Amino acid sequence: MPTAAIIGGGVIGSGWATRFLLNGWDVRFFDPSADAERVLQAVIERGREAMPALSDAAPKEGSLIIADSTADAVAGAVYIQESTPERIEIKQAVFRSIQEACDADAIVASSTSGFMPTELQEGALRPEQIIVSHPYNPVYLLPLVEVVASPKVSPDLIQRASDVLESVSMKPIVLGAEVPAHVGDRLLEALWREALWLIKDGVATTGQIDDIITHSFGLRWAQKGLFETYRVAGGQAGMKHFLEQFGPCLEWPWTKLMDVPDLDDALIDRIVEQSDEQAAGRTVMQLENERDRNLVALLKALRREDAAAGAFLNEVNRRKLSD
């Protein structure tokens, strides 16, 4: 079996390990923190429970090795995924350690949600070997991954990375250029900023904002996205009519996107208090289990309609059954 090395744990690194392991890859995992293996095993068990519901031909599980060092984990690995804390000096040091021990033709990818490949490559032994493969949590269920490269990276390496990601049932989106925070997090940041202002100004609570998302446009986005949703909103005339009708609204002073509220103690306390009330005593593990069950149910419904992520899962399953 091919081998993937996962450097750095937490929910993202552990999610990557689960994704590769349950798609038949052998995995070597390294994270020096004392709690890393416990978190990893908990995520793997969650993945074992959730992932089979979305697969018609689940592969035999690969083997897992808890490595003693970065060098032990990456030696001979075909694909290496870094998921260390979002501090550039840490990531650059980790990449130097990885490249001192890994094969020169291995794919070295980062889960970073903010840094660009050019930043990660500074001081690297082989800058052309490093890309961004940015997933979404939970990594073992959500298929999308943003693949980002600098001009130093060859098209061949990008294609090989995409092939690897497709082999573990992910949908790689290769971005046309590198920008800070890539695409998904830039869109989420816009919504997050507006939500912080709405809470700060007393317009809505955390629970009300979440209800507005989950009971309205969140349901539309799960199967039509942003632009196709607006195309439908334009009626028979489509997107052109929508833009002509609603385009002028963009000039109105509604948004506070260019202005970030100060996350002072008062706002933090308000968000935490409202969030605690919203959770109603449920633990994080209970919330994660609810999330996974809901995602599986939604993805299965989309599979039945052969729509959006469901259409992708159907394609993956057809490919597995034909192999």
pLDDT of the residue at 6: 98
Name, in order, each residue with C-beta under 8 angstroms of 218's C-beta and a sequence gap of 6 or more: none
pLDDT in single tens digits along all 323 residues of the chain: 899 999 999 999 999 999 999 999 999 999 999 999 999 999 999 999 999 999 998 789 999 999 999 999 999 999 999 999 999 999 999 999 999 999 999 999 999 999 999 999 999 999 999 999 999 999 999 999 999 999 999 999 999 999 999 999 999 999 999 999 999 999 999 999 999 999 999 999 999 999 999 999 999 999 999 999 988 888 888 888 888 888 887 777 777 777 889 999 999 999 999 999 999 999 999 999 999 999 999 999 999 999 999 999 999 999 989 88
Helix axes 206-214, 265-279, angle to 10 degrees: 60
- The CATH number of the domain covering residues in 184-281: 1.10.1040.10
pLDDT of the residue at 199: 97
d(CA 229, CA 242): 10
For the beta sheet containing 171-174, the strands, ordered from the edge strand earlier in sequence to the opposite edge, are: 64-66, 26-30, 3-7, 79-82, 107-110, 130-135, 144-148, 171-174
Tokens of 17: 């390990």
- Tell me how far CA of residue 237 lies from CA of 53, 232, 233, 240, in angstroms: 39, 9, 9, 7
Which residue type is seen at 33? S
Rounded to two decimals, the pTM is 0.95
Give the side-chain half-sphere CA count within 13 A for 29. 29
pLDDT of the residue at 281: 96
Is 2.40.30.10 the CATH classification of the domain at 3-174?
Answer: no
β-bridge mates for residue 3, sequence order:
26
DSSP string computed for 144-177: EEEEE--TTS-HHHHHHHHHHHHHTT-EEEE-SS
Taking only the tens place, the pLDDT of each residue in 283-294 is 999 999 999 999
Dihedral class, residue 283 (left if φ above 0, else alpha if ψ from -120 to 50, else beta): beta
Domain boundaries of the chain, sorted by first residue: 3-174, 184-281
Give the side-chain half-sphere CA count within 13 A for 303. 16
The gap from C-alpha 189 to its chain's centroid, in whole angstroms, comes to 14
d(CA 185, CA 170): 18
H/E run at residue 316: helix 308-322
Taking only the tens place, the pLDDT of each residue in 207-257 is 999 999 999 999 999 999 999 998 888 888 888 888 888 888 777 777 777
Q: What is the mean pLDDT of the chain?
A: 95
d(CA 104, CA 106): 6
Do 291 and 220 touch, CB atoms closer than 8 A? no
